[in-house]
Structure 1
Amino acid sequence: MPAMMEPLHTLAEAIGVARTWWDVDGKEQTVSDASLAAIATALGYPAGSAGQIAQSLAQVEAEHRHPPVMIVTEAGQPTPLPASLAHAQLTREDGETIALPLEGWTLPPVSEPGYYRLLLAGHDLTLAVAPKSCPAVSDFAPGKLWGPAVQIPALRGTNAHPFGNFGELDEAVRLFSARGADVVAINPVHALFPGNGHGFSPYSPSSRLYLNSAMGAPELLGLPPLPAREGGDLIDWEGALPRRMADLRALFDSLDEATRARIARDNAPHGHGLRHQALFDALDVHFRAQGADGWQQWPKAYHDPDGPAAMAFAAEHAEEVEFHLFTQWLARESLAKVQADARTDGMAIGLLADLAVGVHTGGADSWQMRHAMLQGLTIGAPPDPLGPLGQNWMLTGFSPQGLKRSGYAPWIQTIRAALSVAGGLRIDHAFGLSRLWVVPAGGESSAGAYLSYPFLDLIRLVALEAHRANALIVAEDLGTMPHGFAGPIAEKKMLGMRVLWFERAADEGFIGGQDYAPDSVAMTGTHDTATVAGWWTGRDIAWDEKLDRLPEGSSREQAEDRREWDRGLLWATLTHNAIPRPEPDHPEPVATAALRHIGHSASQLAIAPLEDILAEREQPNLPGTVTEHPNWRRRLTAPLEQLLDSPANAARIEALDEARKE
């Protein structure tokens, strides 16, 4: 076994699996050889024996000799050719061949960003030429812009629904546009499993190429609205999603031929991929009723999207497939209408969509893009103080090898799909463009390792798609940043995130907003952090005590003492102690001051969670919990217009708007 280790380590390095990593305390950690072998094998490089490792190393060498499907570069700069293309061969009269390495061969600069067909050394490939940077905030409007971040299901509007959909979002856009906002950040709206009331987390989608079919708003497209249905303070997803699908089926059954023809015309440009999504949804509904959770639990004959069994099902259940094509059309076209309304109402950017870091292992993307996805691996996070055993998000993502083999087509499709219905995109856990923590199937999170990705290629393609769509890009950069990440992101003018709670100095004081980077988004919080009112009142501490999440060896009293000290630090930063500090049970002035703080920041864009605008004490999601906390279930207490018109909430919005303009 020891004789295998050096070749195994060589193989791991060659395929981008890091053998060592540094934890949050700066201590070097070493990945076990068993984990390296398991991860390499899952990536398609068997490493169970010395012979397998040797064959896998030979496979890597062969792949390096194979010309790429796509070369990604930047406008205006020469492009070094990869070794697989930068070579020549001489043949002597006696037939002997001599290889001539042509080191330093480059393509001349191309000035115009775009995708080009390139014929080179007998190979036909694509040259992707990215602009030097993404569109900046100043390209959309002068001055410093602001907007809210909303959880769409939490919204209440004119119509009674058990959860908010794109109709309520359209109302929210109009309300905030009238109050000076230029952007509305939204939660991920990727496709979930239709009608499944247990899989409602927006960050565990079935597909990132298509939309959550429960979100469509027929009234935005001139169709009859969905039936009025009351909902409680917490969303009953288990009951609401099946009922929503039943209501959509009733609407579909009532469509006339002209409307069906309209839907078919609108869907036609989306081609084969959309039909695959509709077929997957039809199969999922069919087999989920029999107890299957994900395509891996379907009969094996249905694992191939283009196989005879899947095609026969599509033919035999043609009307069911048409129904799911309808729900995708309804979601896509109604969300596009929201974005169009945002721009018509004067918003400079409109919707800022959210791209989840991965997809459900049993979902549609995994089914129809298997060649480009990680197999036998899930993604998560390494052990840290907040998660001593690490985190396994039970999601999958793109394989770096699969992306390269496919000419990055799945990544381009994913970015393009998001930007087709929004004015900008937030990339969740953008560090994943550089590296992801991958865990062998069935293993503990602590048995994972970092897998590197073609970072520069991926962000250049994001910049190219943002350029083509004239869209803003936000790269979520919270946490332990990989080496070499910050520079390229800044050069591409992707906005980082400056969240109030994490912007602290060496003495633990809060950093002044004037010290935030201009190319950033200033925020009072995210969906994963305590609200300002919740933090000030210690609501987050109460949850930690209730769920036994307090740091080991500490008590509620100690946490409260620490919070009281931090309240003083925060209030000093927000107001310079110009006015008396509010009591812990009076957080509303603090929420106002926090909004004014991000408004006065140097950041070109400020985004305030709706919960902070309303001075709510509860947060939408508590990381590390599933059912212990009502994640993604909370709703507004009243229609949004009514809440925004209340004097206290109106004053908070005005404080943020005026601070941006000063």
Structure 2
Amino acid sequence: MEQLHALAQAAGVAREWTDVDGRQQLVADDALAAVLAALGHAAGSERQIARSLAAVEERRAALPPMLVADCGASIPLPFAASRAEATGEDGITRPLAVDGDRLTVPDAPGYYDLVLDGRALKLAVAPAKCPLPNAAGRRPWGVSLQIPALRGAQPSPFGTFGELAEAARQFGAAGADALAINPVHALFPGHGVGYSPYSPSSRLFLNGAMGDPALVGLPPLVPSTEAGPLIDWAGALPLRLAELRKVFAALTPAQRAGITSPEDAMLHRHALFDALDCHFRPLGAHGWRDWPAAFHDPEGAAATHFAAEHPDEIGFHLFVQWLARQGLEAAQTAAKGAGMGVGLIADLAVGVDPSGSDAWSLRHTMLDGLTIGAPPDPLGPLGQNWSITGFSPEGLRASAYEPWIAMIRAGLAADGGLRIDHAFGLARLWVIPEGGATRDGAYLSYPFDDLIRLATLEAHRANAFIIAEDLGTAPYGFTQAVTERQMLGMRVLWFERAADNGFIGAADYEPLSAAMSGTHDTVTVAGWWRGRDLDWAEKLGRLPEGTSRAEAEAIRDWDRGLLWSTLDHTACRPAPDNPAPVVDAAMAHIARTPAAIALVSLEDLLGLEEQPNLPGTITEHPNWRRRLDAPTGDLIADAHVRQRCAILGGPDAG
């Protein structure tokens, strides 16, 4: 099947890939054909393959809607041109040097309207590097937290941007420079089941449930009874939507007019999606794919008629987005006002729910019939299907990267930095045909060079830095490329080990990185020391095959010695039931690294044993449901917590 393999190569679908053990793996031909068909490349016969291959090659040879280049670079064109001029965002048109099929782009970063021999297209020019974290000449430190876990002075079912703003004031006063927050992308409105922040409806807009009317001078939400240690999302999210409807109903006509009449067409489309979701969900529909077919087209007669017939409902969802955006900006203002040099670090999820707003609004730029996951490996022999989707490579090119740029810009809108989850996805994603087994997927390549240039350009425009989550096996060339762009890698305590399996010293962390005590997916320091992760592994039958709990405990005890020898060479090793000194030492370890920013999880700062999320579980573990015991101010007032803040901000962090 040489033709099939040639089509796969031309379409960016890898036939071969290397697993975590360094072994070469081969994708079966029928799996290749299924992925290609989902991408729109018919591969059912030799004639279909030949036509598909010709179409791919024709598109690649054509002038794309956008060229992406570095400042002052000479780039190739698909044809020899005699004249080129570019109009910048300042409105000034300037001629560009063109020599046959080579074009020299402007020296200044930005977006340009380019004309080549009368053909109009876009040009994006990126600076060489992203900004770095700024904290007035010293190495900044910050805390990563889950907003819903926060508590405030008033009882509430979950934390919102109001609690985030208060946390920013408290941590700013304690000397922190940044708060790294969970993704705040839009979820399905009032849906109390799909609440994972990494399976959003849209990455262009915000989770309206995070809005706090009090932050914008509106009457506050009615306090609820004090919630327990776990969030009841099934009850809380529908109730919050009803409460926000009451706030909207009490607005004056003048207030509504100022909030619900923006010019953003995509925002209106998202509000229409949320209105339709609220209309059809009581009938059992989960997202647009369960709606009547007439509503599948956002520009179709059915959707247009619905919008015309329900202006107040559309207005309500516009209000919810306004409230959320104002709240996020208020939290960033609070962070800066408290002296934080960075403020908020946002988190960009790797994909979206295939039934959500983005997949409906941007269908021609999204993968259709494919979901994203991870290939089989020793830790997951069946692989992982995350049941989310994302942009298609061809869709991005054909749209001049417009929705991707909007997504990055939305993530940077009110933040000092942006973490890109599973940043390897800028280069490739493991895609799985819907209904197929995870092992029947394949790696799909993305226009990596263009995407990192665009991310660098947007970071430059926002004066914000980028953390590229790079845990795992990096695609070829990835690490060098993001390093050259001055994007920060993630250096997490648990994964920073030497060849002898010992933990590396603080001085050996890479300067161009974010040094971290853990992530939302990893065990906390206290939990690891006590063996709480082993408790969960035993309970869920996830201990390594052939390993008993006693054997796992013995391995952990050896690892405790390795960790403690790195963290503290002088004091006696604490007992397993005494994790506090280990947490203190881990804070000092992270603070001593030369990394560009030090980040510790709030769970580690507080010495908690439970982690927010246990990967590979849905209902077995209370993922994204844990609530803190007290308001942030009370927690920080604890002498032990303040001591850890002092450690992180001490002279070794400078």
1:78 aligns with 2:74: yes
Q: Distance in 1 between matches of 2:443 and 2:220?
A: 48
Q: Distance in 2 between matches of 1:211 and 1:37?
A: 37
Q: Percent identity?
A: 60
Q: Distance in 2 between matches of 1:655 and 1:645?
A: 15
1:393 aligns with 2:367: no
Question: Is this contact kept in 2: 1:278–1:321, CA < 8 A?
Answer: yes
Name 1:416's counterpart in structure 2.
409
Q: Distance in 1 between matches of 2:23 and 2:81?
A: 43
Which runs of 5 or more structure 2 residues have no equivalent in the other structure?
Answer: 83-97
Q: Distance in 1 between matches of 2:57 and 2:105?
A: 29
**Which runs of structure 2 are paired with 1:487-502 in the superposition (5 Å)?**
487-502=480-495
Question: Is this contact kept in 2: 1:381–1:390, CA < 8 A?
Answer: yes
One-letter amino acid of the structure 2 residue matched with residue 243 of structure 1:
L
Q: Secondary structure at the match of 1:40?
A: helix
Name 1:95's counterpart in structure 2.
none
One-letter amino acid of the structure 2 residue matched with residue 288 of structure 1:
R
Partner deviation per Cα, 1:147-169 (whole Å, 9 max, x = no partner): 10010000001121110000000
Partner deviation per Cα, 1:484-527 (whole Å, 9 max, x = no partner): 00111011100000000000000000011111111100000000
TM-score scaled by structure 2? 0.96
Q: Distance in 1 between matches of 2:80 and 2:369?
A: 35
User: Per-residue deviation at 1:141?
Assistant: 2.8
Question: Is this contact kept in 1: 2:133–2:464, CA < 8 A?
Answer: no
Question: Is this contact kept in 2: 1:155–1:168, CA < 8 A?
Answer: yes
Q: Distance in 1 between matches of 2:418 and 2:391?
A: 19
One-letter amino acid of the structure 2 residue matched with residue 154 of structure 1:
A
Name 2:63's counterpart in structure 1.
67
Name 1:108's counterpart in structure 2.
104
Q: Secondary structure at the match of 1:457?
A: helix
Pairing partner for 2:256 from 260, 276, 280: 260
Q: Secondary structure at the match of 1:137?
A: coil
Q: Secondary structure at the match of 1:359?
A: coil
Question: Is this contact kept in 1: 2:130–2:460, CA < 8 A?
Answer: yes
Pairing partner for 1:583 from 566, 569, 575: 575
One-letter amino acid of the structure 2 residue matched with residue 26 of structure 1:
G
Q: Distance in 1 between matches of 2:306 and 2:168?
A: 41
User: Per-residue deviation at 1:172?
Assistant: 0.5
Question: Is this contact kept in 2: 1:192–1:199, CA < 8 A?
Answer: yes
**Which runs of structure 2 are paired with 1:108-187 in the superposition (5 Å)?**
108-138=104-134, 141-187=136-182
Name 2:634's counterpart in structure 1.
642
Q: Distance in 1 between matches of 2:22 and 2:548?
A: 27
Q: Distance in 2 between matches of 1:599 and 1:181?
A: 12
**Which runs of structure 2 are paired with 1:467-616 in the superposition (5 Å)?**
467-576=460-569, 578-616=570-608
One-letter amino acid of the structure 1 residue matched with residue 598 of structure 2:
A
Q: Secondary structure at the match of 1:618?
A: coil
Name 1:93's counterpart in structure 2.
none
Question: Is this contact kept in 2: 1:146–1:660, CA < 8 A?
Answer: no
Name 1:375's counterpart in structure 2.
368
Q: Distance in 1 between matches of 2:345 and 2:389?
A: 24
Q: Distance in 1 between matches of 2:105 and 2:17?
A: 37
Partner deviation per Cα, 1:84-124 (whole Å, 9 max, x = no partner): x3379xxxxxxxxxxxxx99731124210001111113310
Q: Secondary structure at the match of 1:110?
A: coil
Extract structure 1 runs of 4+ deviating beyond 2 A. 85-88, 102-105, 659-662
Partner deviation per Cα, 1:246-270 (whole Å, 9 max, x = no partner): 1111111111123213313xx514x
Question: Is this contact kept in 1: 2:105–2:125, CA < 8 A?
Answer: no
Partner deviation per Cα, 1:167-199 (whole Å, 9 max, x = no partner): 000000000100111110000000000000001
Q: Secondary structure at the match of 2:380?
A: coil
Partner deviation per Cα, 1:401-445 (whole Å, 9 max, x = no partner): 000000000110000111112111000000000000000110011
> For the aligned residues, what is the CA RMSD?
1.3
Q: Secondary structure at the match of 2:429?
A: strand
> Closer, same or farther in 2 for the Cα pair 1:339/1:585, shift >3 Å?
same
One-letter amino acid of the structure 1 residue matched with residue 365 of structure 2:
A
Question: Is this contact kept in 2: 1:274–1:325, CA < 8 A?
Answer: yes
Q: Secondary structure at the match of 1:616?
A: coil
Q: Distance in 1 between matches of 2:80 and 2:234?
A: 58
1:7 aligns with 2:3: yes
Name 2:343's counterpart in structure 1.
350
Q: Secondary structure at the match of 2:583?
A: helix
User: Per-residue deviation at 1:64?
Assistant: 2.1
Q: Distance in 2 between matches of 1:385 and 1:652?
A: 37
User: Per-residue deviation at 1:136?
Assistant: 1.4
One-letter amino acid of the structure 2 residue matched with residue 301 of structure 1:
A
Q: Distance in 2 between matches of 1:308 and 1:103?
A: 49
User: Per-residue deviation at 1:77?
Assistant: 2.1
> Closer, same or farther in 2 for the Cα pair 1:172/1:585, shift >3 Å?
same
Question: Is this contact kept in 2: 1:80–1:104, CA < 8 A?
Answer: no
TM-score scaled by structure 1? 0.95
Partner deviation per Cα, 1:582-605 (whole Å, 9 max, x = no partner): 100111111111011000001010
Name 1:458's counterpart in structure 2.
451
Count of aligned positions: 638
One-letter amino acid of the structure 2 residue matched with residue 125 of structure 1:
L
User: Per-residue deviation at 1:203?
Assistant: 0.1
Pairing partner for 1:245 from 241, 246, 255: 241
User: Per-residue deviation at 1:52?
Assistant: 0.7
Question: Is this contact kept in 2: 1:596–1:659, CA < 8 A?
Answer: no
Name 2:219's counterpart in structure 1.
224
Q: Secondary structure at the match of 1:404?
A: helix
Q: Distance in 2 between matches of 1:515 and 1:447?
A: 39
